[in-house]
Amino acid sequence: MTKNVSAHAVSLSRRKLLQASGIAAGGLLLATALPFSRRSYAEQYVNKGPEDAPLDTPTALGAFLRIGHDGQVTLISPKIEMGQGVQTGFAMMVAEELNVTLDQVRVQEAPPDEKLYGDKLLGFQATGGSSSTRSNWQPLREAAAAARLMLIQAAANQWGVSPEECRAENGKVIGPGNRELVYGALVDAAAKLPVPENVPLKKPEDYKVIGQPLRRLDTPGKVNGSAKFTIDLQLPGMKIATVNACPVVGGTLVSVDDSRARAVPGVRDVVKLDNAVAVIGDHMWAALKGLKALEIQWDMGPNAGIDSAQIERALHAAFDREGAIAAEAGDINKAIAGASSKIEAEYEMPFLAHATLEPMTCVAQVREDACELWVGTQVPVMAQQAAAKAAGLPPEKVIVNNQLIGGGFGRRLEADFIAQAAAIAKHVDYPIKLVWTREEDTAHDLYRPHYIDRFSAGLDANGMPVGWSHTIVGASVMARFAPAAVPPNGLDADAVEVSNKPIYKLPNLKVRYVPEAPKAILNSWWRGVGPLHGAYVMESFIDELAYAAKQDPVDYRMKLLGDHPRAQAVLKLAAEKANWSQKLPTGHGRGVAVQEVFGSYLATVVEMQVDAQNGIHITRLICVADCGEVTNPTSVHSQLEGGTMFGLSAALYNEITIKDGHVEQSNFHDYRQLRMSDAPPVETHIIPSHEVPGGIGEAGTAMIAPALVNALYAATGKRIRRLPVARAGYHVA
């Protein structure tokens, strides 16, 4: 077991600590917590047997559950809340199998611990890839069901009856003669019992909590200003740091004249890193003014001359390389050569920034023998390792207190800003809160790759595809993020997702991937990840084939979806809801996209009118999902609505460009986001299903761009093959 990492005495009582850390569901109230005064999470919560647990500590029933003597159930959530509603969903799963109501469950963030909290689908401890429900649906319900059986057994033992004569209900065990014991009175005895294996789970028809549209647990504090995000934390003695990193990736700091900065009232310190300068002040205003007053000399490094045009030329040139085969079936050359007609197209997607509304922020304190972080992160173990490296400490000396996230979208799967915070904090003897400016956040992101996709297809006399060739060029995110996960031929499973297993019947096909890492820009995960890219190109090209075959885009897809009844069902319902067969006036059009993404089936229909000034009026936006068993339908609807518009925002407006080695965009005035005035109403429909749950947090995002460009084509006859559509002169009217 981890020993207390602090050399300083534990100054608050355990009871106080638990109160301090447990008040806000899904988050921590940190204003009362002193750095290093608490024992580590690992020590406090994990692997605690009842023997060494003081009486006021909730008793552990496995890695995920704690029950207090007051009956309060605490779920140790392996996933962080960033607005997707995951922690409420998890609490519902636990409430269901534990036979308690949702208000009896509170949620606490899991500490970094791959063994206990690693994601089985992703292969490491992370919140991402729309995997949360998929990975935890079974283990969380099993953990709660096992706990319920243990509590029943404990009561039966106490009463000297058989467990079959007892049942659990609403936080109590009820035995023969209606005698009752509350969970809180049983938990110590229960925790000593062996954990039952192969516990039976409830059948859908018996669900009382799962499937209900329940309100999220974390929202009340988010409407009255009391919820604390990382940026809101205040520790005693803490100062505010803000930073300028070298504008060009790979550049370094030569020198800095900080005399004017240090003269700014409230500026405390100026810290030099290899590639950045931080100013620390009593408040952000002092730090910001100090930052402006710095005179910095950079060595811009090898990427100083790079611009977008060069990057694009390199991507195009990569098509000449062989790359890796992602999928191959039949004889593509023969099939295309013998086809009645041939059609080709090239699509292109730009670099994208995440632009989470809460900019990158991390609270850090580093001492000689320990480091403590308070940070909203999608990757607690990576955060721990990155900070350890920056602080020059072994990882076990780094405590990570995960926090509510003000927008993740993949950005907080990276720990660059966390390492930077630790590196800055190492230079000072007080805790710092590193807050990136919006400008820093926009220009020092790790961006969604710029992809170029080339297709060629052969159609038979009926216009149906007989050969399908697809080549993908773009950066391999995986090669940078987790090189060990990429085979020697460079085949990145993320880059070819959707494309390598088309849901359409395509008898002869070949899919190639050529990785090409751009200069001057780092690439990472972005909401929608592989399917965002795959769905856009696949659904654009299939639409082109439908029009080339002079067939209705819905009918055409339907014919090719024979092996996928769930895909056909969402497509059918979306077409119905959209009145697809009803003719539209000139200048209006509908576009559709259907795919299996993240284990869910989605169909999205956009209906729009385009005016003479190239103004787009989206009149309807319909999204139909079959995402298997639904835990909380409200969350699914919300994620579909928000996720769809998130993708729409990018498809309409966004593109990160490079000039002289640096990112040209800086803030919301030049990296425009969807606003109320251009947000269409999104109609969402869920097809009831008892299939295993699919992911939903990114599914809507992946589907909107193709539906949008397909609708634009239907309305105008113009095919947009390069995003964003604003490049082609369109705007939202």
Partner 1 sequence: MLTLNINGADHQVDVPDDMPLLWVLRDVLGMTGTKYGCGIAQCGACTVHLDGTAVRACVLPVSNIAQGQKIVTIEAVGKSDLGKKVQDAWLEHEVVQCGYCQSGQIMSAVALLTQHPDAGDAEIDAGMSGNVCRCCTYTRIRGAIKSVSQA
The site for partner 1 (CB under 8 A) is made up of 31, 82-85, 215-216, 218-229, 231-232, 234, 240, 265-266, 282-286, 288, 355-359, 404-409, 435, 437-438, 634, 638, 641-646, 648-649, 667-669, 673-677, 679, 681-682
Q: Taking the complex as a whole, how short is the minimal distance between the CB of residue 355 and ligand FES, in angstroms?
A: 10
- C-alpha to C-alpha distance for 502 and 560, rounded to whole angstroms: 10
User: Is 473:299 a contact under the CB 8 Å cutoff?
Assistant: no
First to last CA, the chain: 61
Omega before residue 565 within 30° of 0, cis: no
Secondary structure tally for the chain: helices H, strands E: 20, 28
643 binds ligand FES (CB under 6 A): no
H-helix or E-strand containing 449?
Answer: none
CB of 471 to ligand FES, least distance (A): 37
% helix / strand / coil in the chain, to the nearest 5? 35, 25, 40
Interacting residues with ligand FES between 104 and 163 (CB under 6 A): none
297 binds, among partner 1, ligand FES, none (CB under 5 to 8 A by kind): none
Cα(381)–Cα(323) distance, rounded to whole angstroms? 33
Find the DSSP H helices in 160-212.
183-191
**Minimum distance, C-beta of residue 82 to ligand FES, in the bound complex (Å):** 8
Residues between 422 and 441 with contacts to ligand FES, criterion CB under 6 A = none
> CB 159: neighbour CB atoms within 10 A?
17
What is the rounded CA–CA span in Å between residue 520 and residue 506? 38
Residue 482 sits in the site that holds ligand FES (CB under 6 A): no
Q: Which residue is nearest to ligand FES (CB)?
A: 357
Q: Could you tell which of ligand FES, partner 1, none binds residue 258, using a CB distance below 5 to 8 A set by kind?
A: none
Compute how many residues bind ligand FES; rule: CB under 6 A.
3
Q: Are 432 and 375 in contact (CB under 8 A)?
A: no
Helix (H, G, I), strand (E, B) or coil at 283: coil
Q: Which lies closer to ligand FES via its Cβ, residue 221 or residue 407?
A: 407
Q: Judge residue 121's burial from the number of C-beta atoms within 10 Å of its C-beta, 0-12 exposed, 13-18 middle, 19 or more buried.
A: middle
d(CA 400, CA 263): 35
Q: At closest approach, how far in Å is the CB of 448 from partner 1?
A: 15
**Measured between alpha carbons, how far is 185 from 189 in angstroms, rounded to an integer?**
8
Residue in 22, 78, 83, 163 binding ligand FES, rule: CB under 6 A: 83
Q: How far is the CB of 220 from ligand FES (least distance, A)?
A: 14
Between 31 and 357, name the residue whose CB sits nearer to ligand FES.
357
Minimum Å gap between C-beta 83 and ligand FES is 5
CB 625 within 8 A of CB 691: no
Residue 398 has φ and ψ, to the nearest 5°, of: -110, 120
Task: Tell me if 675 contacts ligand FES by CB under 6 A.
Answer: no
Spatial distance between the Cα atoms of 477 and 447, rounded to a whole number of angstroms:
10
Q: Which is nearer to ligand FES, 218 or 655 (CB)?
A: 218
Query: Which of 93/674 has CB closer to ligand FES?
Result: 674
Q: At closest approach, how far in Å is the CB of 246 from partner 1? A: 21
Q: How far is the CB of 631 from partner 1 (least distance, A)?
A: 14
Shortest distance in whole angstroms from residue 225 CB to partner 1 = 2
C-alpha torsion 286→289→291→295, nearest 10: -130
Give the Cα-Cα-Cα angle 641, 647, 651 (nearest 5 degrees). 140
Using alpha carbons only, give the angle 621, 627, 633 rounded to the nearest 5 degrees. Answer: 75
Q: Is residue 357 a contact residue for ligand FES (CB under 6 A)?
A: yes
Nearer to partner 1, 258 or 358 (CB): 358
Question: Taking CB within 5 to 8 Å according to partner kind, which of ligand FES, partner 1, none is near residue 112?
Answer: none
Pull the structure tokens for residue 366. Answer: 């580093």
The minimum distance between CB 667 and ligand FES, in angstroms, equals 9
β-pairing, 600-610 with 588-597? antiparallel
Nearer to ligand FES, 83 or 628 (CB): 83
Q: How far is the CB of 43 from ligand FES (least distance, A)?
A: 33
Q: Which does 565 bind (CB under 5 to 8 A by kind): partner 1, ligand FES, none?
A: none
Based on CB atoms, which residue is closest to partner 1, 285 or 317? 285
Q: Which is nearer to ligand FES, 62 or 407 (CB)?
A: 407
Task: Report strand pairing: 180-182 vs 267-272.
Answer: unpaired
Q: How many CB atoms are located within 10 Å of the residue 204 CB?
A: 12
DSSP secondary structure letters along 397-444: GEEEEE-B-S--TTGGG--HHHHHHHHHHTTSSS-EEEE--HHHHHHT
Which does residue 9 bind out of ligand FES, partner 1, none, counting CB within 5 to 8 angstroms by kind? Answer: none
Closer Cβ to partner 1, 228 or 448, answer by number: 228
Among partner 1, ligand FES, none, the one that 638 touches (CB under a kind-dependent 5 to 8 A) is partner 1
157 binds, among ligand FES, partner 1, none (CB under 5 to 8 A by kind): none
Vertex 484: Cα angle to 479 and 488 (nearest 5): 75
Q: How far is the CB of 675 from partner 1 (least distance, A)?
A: 5
Q: Which does 715 bind (CB under 5 to 8 A by kind): ligand FES, partner 1, none?
A: none
Which CB atom, from 83 or from 697, has the smaller least distance to ligand FES? 83
Cβ nearer to ligand FES, comparing 78 with 359? 359
When asked if residue 407 is in the footprint of ligand FES (CB under 6 A), the reply is yes
Nearest Cα neighbor of 625 from 611, 614, 636, 610 is 636
Q: Which does 227 bind (CB under 5 to 8 A by kind): partner 1, ligand FES, none?
A: partner 1
246: left (phi over 0), alpha (psi -120 to 50) or beta: beta
DSSP E strand boundaries for 482-614: 508-515, 588-597, 600-610
Task: For partner 1, give the closer residue by CB, 476 or 654.
Answer: 654
Tell the smallest beta-carbon distance from residue 350 to partner 1 (Å). 18
Cβ-based nearer residue to partner 1, 242 or 420? 242
Query: CA quadruple 357, 359, 365, 366: dihedral positive or negative?
Result: positive
> Contact residues for ligand FES (CB under 6 A)?
83, 357, 407
